[in-house]
Amino acid sequence: MDRPVDDIDLSIIDALRADGRVSNKLLAAQLGISETTVASRIRGLRKRRVMLVTLQRDMFSQGYELQCFADVFVARRKVVSVATDLAKLDAIMSVSLTLGSPEIVLVFHARDRHDMLDVLDRQIAPIKGVVRIEMHIALDIRKYESHYADLSHL
């Protein structure tokens, strides 16, 4: 059985969240443990699918001005099949199946309104089973955290 996450594990996760490139040597010095312990703990956290260090792009520095949310309504096709096709689109960042209506919620970024319409008209709308799309655009993002993710696929 896997051991529970303890204070040392949480300290390592917090330090890596602050700077994913911090060395094991520096982490060990900050936490008052050996470099070997840090490396072992990180391996264990990854193996147990508790933590994964990843890279995240800053959408604004990449020229994306709009964060878009699309409610996708589905008919005459299985929702999971439509979601699978939507997940293949490079423009789409997140595909979530919901209980109720809409059946699918998408998140994507767009450089401007023209780019947003292109994603809607040329990528999302043509997918078989998509019968209606309702759009929402974030006017101001006050908080955006991505500390948690589903790592079960690893």
Which CA distances in Å does 98 have to 102, 106, 119, 132? Answer: 7, 11, 21, 15
What pLDDT score was predicted for residue 41?
Answer: 93
pLDDT tops 60 at residue 1: no
Largest CA distance in the chain: 60
Q: Is residue 28 a part of any domain in this protein? A: yes
Same structural domain, 118 and 76: yes
Q: Is residue 145 a part of any domain in this protein? A: no
What pLDDT score was predicted for residue 152?
Answer: 67
Same structural domain, 75 and 132: yes
Q: Is residue 1 a part of any domain in this protein? A: no
Mean pLDDT over residues 26-46, rounded? Answer: 93
The rounded distance, in Å, linking the Cα atoms of 51 and 43 is 9
What pLDDT score was predicted for residue 36?
Answer: 94
Name the residue with higher pLDDT: 68 or 151.
Answer: 68
Percent of the chain at pLDDT > 70 equals 91
pLDDT tops 80 at residue 111: yes
Mean pLDDT over residues 121-136, rounded? Answer: 97
Are 24 and 39 spatial neighbours (Cβ–Cβ below 8 Å)? yes
pLDDT in tens, 72-89: 999 999 999 999 999 999
pLDDT in tens, 39-52: 999 999 988 888 88
Q: Which residue has the tokens 């050996």?
A: 34
Average pLDDT over the chain reads 90
Same structural domain, 132 and 80: yes
Q: Is residue 142 a part of any domain in this protein? A: no
Mean pLDDT over residues 118-140, rounded? Answer: 96
Q: What is the CATH number of the domain that holds 28?
A: 1.10.10.10
Same structural domain, 42 and 70: no
Cα dihedral sign, 31-35-41-42: positive
Structural domain containing residue 34? 7-47
Q: Is residue 74 a part of any domain in this protein? A: yes
Q: What is the CATH number of the domain that holds 125?
A: 3.30.70.920
Same structural domain, 133 and 100: yes
Same structural domain, 97 and 133: yes
Q: Is residue 117 a part of any domain in this protein? A: yes
Total domains, the chain:
2
Q: Is residue 88 a part of any domain in this protein? A: yes
Name the residue with higher pLDDT: 53 or 125.
Answer: 125
Name the amino acid, one letter, at 97: L
Same structural domain, 77 and 107: yes
Q: Is residue 59 a part of any domain in this protein? A: no
